[in-house]
Amino acid sequence: MGKVFFFTGEAIRAMRRNVAPTTAAVVTTVLTAILIGVLVPIFQTTQSKSAEVRDQLELRVFLFDDATKAEINTLQSDIAAIPSVSEVSFLSKADALAEFRRDYGQENRDVLRELRGNPLPANFIVRPDDAAELDAIRAAIQPPNQSGKPTYISPIVQQVDNRQATANKIEEVTGALKLVLTVITALLIGASLLLIGNTIRLSIYTRRREIEVMRLVGATRWFIRWPFMIEGVVVGILGGAIAILVLWIGKVTVVDPLSESFALMQAQDSMSFIVLAACLFAAAIVVSALGSGLTLRRFLNV
């Protein structure tokens, strides 16, 4: 136990003697932790929101008004049997009008006033288990005949609303966004490790003569290494704590008030702030301690 206090005291004294390199290491740790702490929730929120939008994609199969109940039930069974179809819901003409009033009534009040009847057809809402399968489902509902022209699987089908263009756009945007965020995350983590390592190396370089003297008088490698590693732990604790404080202030003053108005600002909902803070705090300590220990190796070879 006495050695722990001795090494800790040596680390604190060294930090006091080398304020500038220690401050640089702390600032580097703070900036790195803040950037990662902002990027991780954004990455997770983007994935969850894109998945949510993709899950809302669907096909609409519009029916003729003279379709009988038996024909409707048969068609519903045929559509449900198509591979990759997860759900088939039927909307009657009255349900379709109620849906239109609910979704577009506020924007189309004048149109609703002019309605003298219900022009909307009954339809099926076809939801896939994967948005990428929308085109295959549409092709199954509208297969080609012998001449190659598309025909519907039932004579009561009036039209199939093809949402594949929207699905393709979402797939492209989502894929590109994931790739960009993944590359940015990898570059940020790599740059952060190099930056922290170089900052710690600079701190150790200013004390290289002290390390050489200790080696020449017979000090073991770990006797020299422990104060530096404890110093790295202290730097990680200070940097991680300051970064978490800054992130918490930003969350309370910016993210939380805006999250009520902007769904994409609800980044904290994708990962608990406590979990994120704990991970950042632990990572800052581990990276700083390992950086100190590993960087010190070249100066121990005297």
- Per-residue pLDDT at 74: 92
Cα separation of 241 and 124, whole Å? 55
Q: What is the pLDDT of residues 141-155, one digit of tens each?
A: 888 877 777 788 889
Cα separation of 32 and 240, whole Å? 9
Between 118-132, 158-172, 204-218, the lowest mean confidence (pLDDT) is in 158-172
Mean pLDDT, the chain, integer: 77
| pLDDT exceeds 60 at position 267 | no
Which of the pair, 131 or 35, is modelled with greater confidence? 35
Tokens of 274: 């406590």
pLDDT band, very low/low/confident/very high, at 19 (cuts 50, 70, 90): confident
Q: What is the pLDDT of residues 95-114, one digit of tens each?
A: 888 887 787 666 566 666 66
- Per-residue pLDDT at 62: 92
Helix (H, G, I), strand (E, B) or coil at 234: helix
| pLDDT exceeds 80 at position 247 | yes
- Per-residue pLDDT at 268: 45
160 DSSP β-pair partners:
61
Which of the pair, 202 or 92, is modelled with greater confidence? 92
- Per-residue pLDDT at 73: 92
| Mean pLDDT of the 11-36 span | 77
Cα separation of 78 and 261, whole Å? 42
Which of the pair, 64 or 171, is modelled with greater confidence? 64
Cα separation of 226 and 216, whole Å? 17
Query: Which amino acid belongs to residue 224?
Result: I
Q: What is the pLDDT of residues 52-89, one digit of tens each?
A: 666 667 888 999 988 899 999 999 999 999 998 888 99
Q: From start to end of the chain, where are the E strands?
A: 59-63, 85-91, 123-128, 157-161
Tokens of 183: 């590359």
As a whole number of angstroms, the longest Cα–Cα distance in the chain is 101
- Per-residue pLDDT at 183: 83
- Strand pairing report for 85-91 and 59-63: unpaired
- Per-residue pLDDT at 298: 65
Torsion of CA 82, 85, 87, 92, to 10 degrees: -60
Asked whether the beta carbons of 213 and 300 are under 8 A apart, the reply is no
